[in-house]
Amino acid sequence: MTDLHIDGKRLWQSLMELAQIGATPKGGVRRLTLSDEDRRARDLFCQWARAAGLAVEIDGIGNLFARRAGTDPSLPPVAMGSHLDSQPSGGKFDGAYGVMAGLEALRTLDDAGVRTRAPMEVVSWTNEEGSRFTPVLMGSGVFSGAFTLDHVRAQKDLEGISVGDALSKIGYAGTARPHKLGAYFEAHIEQGPVLENEGKTIGVVQGALGQRWYDVTVSGQDAHAGPTPMELRQDALIGASRMVLEVNRIARGFPDTARGTVGFLQVRPNSRNVIPGEVRTTVDFRNARVSTLDAMCEELKRAAKTIETDCRVTIELRENVYFKPCEFDPALVAQVRAAAAALGHSHCDIVSGAGHDAVSIARIAPAAMVFVPCEGGISHNEIENATPADLAAGCDVLLHAALQAAGVVAGASRAAA
C-alpha cells in the first residue's frame, strides 16, 4: 500500500488556515485553552470533519472525536490526534499538526476509497498545554482516568475562571462517555534539535521523559524599600530568585536527561519601592528515570528549607503534575519504524522531552508517536517552523502505521490494489 499518499498541499493549507485563528504578529498563534480562539479552532475542525463525512462527538471535558466507520463496528477505533490549544506565544504546529495530520489521513482514505476493518478516529484533546489551567494533558488525562472530570472542572485560571465555566462559555461541554481505543498514534513536531542535527526526517518515538510540576508560594513581608535595613528584610523575591537558581543547578547536576525550568513568576505587590512580600512561581522537572526524577524533587525540598532560613521567608511547594517516564507500545513503535522504512524516509529512534497526549493514552491503550523536525529545534515560540515536505512525510507515516493497526479490507481500495 506504499503507493497511497496523503495530500501534502491540502495538509499545509489546512494548517495555515487554522493558524489564522489567534495569529500573532511574529507568525505564531495565541490560542489559550477554552478561550474564544480555541472555540473558533474547534468550530473549524468540526466543520472540516463533518464535511469529510466524519461523525463528531464531544465528551465532558470537551475532547473532540471525529469518527470514520470501519467494516467491523465491534472493533475499538484506531485513533490519531493531538491538541488545538497553544502556549500564550506558541507556534503554528505544536498540537495543530497532529490533529490536521489525522484529518488529512482520513480524507486520504476517503479519496482512495480505502475501507478499514476497525473504525478510525481523529481526536482533539482539551488543554494539552497546561499554561492557562493545570493539570497539563487535561483532556487526555480525564479520558484515560488519570484525573476525574469533577476535579479538573473545578480548576481555576489566574482570573478565577473555572474550567467548567470556560467549557460552558465556549459551548464545548459535551456528554460522550470515554470509549475503548484499539490503538492511538500522535504525529508531532519534535520541539527539539535531534532530528535536524541527525539529518533525519522521521523520529520513531520510544517514550517520553517523566515530569513533576510544582506551584510554589514564597512568603515574606511587604516593607518600605528605604527605611528597612538589608539584614531585617523578609524579601520573597530574593527567596524566589534563589529557588530559580537551585532548579537550574539541580537539573544541571543530575543524570538521565534531567531538565529543570521556572517559567512563571508573579511578584506581589510588584511596586518598585516595596520589598516584595509574596512571590508565586512554578517548577517543571523532567527526567528519563523515575528514581532520578524523585531525587531531584527531594533535593529541591532540601534547598527550599535552606532558603527559608537564609532569607527569613516560608516556601510552600504544591505538586500538581506527576507523570512517570513513559514507554510507548513496542508493537506500535515497530509499526511506525516499518512505515517510515517502507515509505523510504530516513528515521531514527528518539525520546520525547515534551509531554504529549499520547503519554496519557498509553495508560489505557497501545500508543506511539511520529516526530518530524522543526527548524532550529525551536518550539513554544511564535517562530516555530517546519517544512511542508517533512510534515507530509510524517503524515504519510502516521497514515500507514495507523492503517496497519486498523486493518485494510482487501479489494475495497481504488488506489492501493
Q: Please, which residue, 29 or 354, has the CB nearer to ligand GLV? A: 354
Is the Cβ of residue 137 or residue 403 nearer to ligand GLV in the bound state?
A: 137
187 binds, among Mn ion, ligand GLV, none (CB under 5 to 8 A by kind): none
Interacting residues with ligand GLV between 341 and 360 (CB under 6 A): 354-355
Q: How far apart are the first and last CA of the chain?
A: 8
Give me the residue label for grid cell 485553552. 33
Task: Spell out the long-range contacts of 272-275 with Cβ–Cβ below 8 A and sequence spacing 24 or more.
Answer: 272/225, 273/224, 273/225, 273/226, 274/222, 274/223, 274/224, 274/225, 275/220, 275/221, 275/222, 275/223, 275/224, 275/225, 275/228, 275/233, 275/234, 275/235
Report what 355 binds from ligand GLV, Mn ion, none; CB cut-off 5-8 Å by kind. Answer: ligand GLV
100 makes contact, choosing from ligand GLV, Mn ion, none, with CB < 5 to 8 Å by partner type, with none
The Cα 379–Cα 161 span in angstroms is 28
When the beta carbons of 136 and 288 are compared against ligand GLV, the nearer one is 136
Query: Based on CB atoms, which residue is closest to ligand GLV, 62 or 130?
Result: 130
Identify the H or E element spanning 407: none
How many CB atoms are closer than 10 A to CB 345?
18
Torsion of CA 88, 93, 98, 102, to 10 degrees: 120
**Is the dihedral angle over the CA atoms 263, 268, 274, 276 positive or is it negative?**
negative
Min separation Cβ 247 and ligand GLV, Å: 15
Q: Which residue type does 313 have?
A: V
Cβ closest to ligand GLV, residue 41 vs residue 311: 41
Using alpha carbons, select from 165, 185, 62, 197 the residue that is nearest to residue 122: 185
Q: Which does 95 bind (CB under 5 to 8 A by kind): ligand GLV, Mn ion, none?
A: Mn ion
Kindly state the smallest distance separating residue 189's Cβ from ligand GLV, in Å: 11
Measured in degrees and rounded to the nearest 5, phi and psi for residue 30 equal: -125, 100
Cβ–Cβ contacts within 10 Å for residue 283, how many? 26
Report the run of H or E that residue 125 belongs to, with start and end: strand 120-125
In this structure, are residues 321 and 134 in contact, taking their beta carbons and an 8 Å threshold?
yes
What minimum distance in Å lies between the beta carbon of 192 and ligand GLV? 11
Of residues 354 and 403, the one with the C-beta less far from ligand GLV: 354
Q: Which residues from 78-97 bind Mn ion, rule CB under 5 A? A: 94-95
**Angstrom distance (rounded) from CA 352 to CA 410:** 36
Report if residue 203 touches Mn ion, rule: CB under 5 A: no
Least Å distance, CB 190 to ligand GLV, is 12
* CB closer to ligand GLV, 118 vs 374: 374
CB of 292 to Mn ion, least distance (A): 23
Residue 66 interacts with which of ligand GLV, Mn ion, none, CB < 5 to 8 Å by class = none
Asked whether position 207 contacts Mn ion by CB under 5 A, the answer is: no
> Least distance (Å) from Mn ion to the CB of residue 188?
6
Please spell the DSSP secondary structure of 215-269, one letter per residue. EEEEE---EETTTS-GGG---HHHHHHHHHHHHHHHHHH-TTT-EEE---EEEES
Residue ranges in 120-179 that form contacts with ligand GLV under rule CB under 6 A = 129, 136
| Interatomic CA distance for residues 263 and 286, integer angstroms | 14
Closer CB to ligand GLV, residue 138 or residue 311? Answer: 138
Q: Find the shortest distance in angstroms from Cβ 145 to ligand GLV.
A: 20
- 90 to 129: interface string for Mn ion, x by CB under 5 A: ----xx----------------------------------
Nearer to ligand GLV, 244 or 415 (CB): 244
Q: Smallest distance from the beta carbon of 400 to ligand GLV, in angstroms?
A: 26
366 Cα distance to chain centroid: 18
Closer of 98 and 182 to Mn ion (Cβ): 98
325 binds ligand GLV (CB under 6 A): no
- Smallest gap from Cβ 141 to ligand GLV, in A, equals 12
Neighbours of 273 (CB within 10 A): 7
C-beta of residue 317 within 8 angstroms of C-beta of residue 300: yes
Instruction: Say which DSSP state 270 is in.
Output: -
Binding site for Mn ion (CB under 5 A): 94-95
Binding site for ligand GLV (CB under 6 A): 129, 136, 354-355
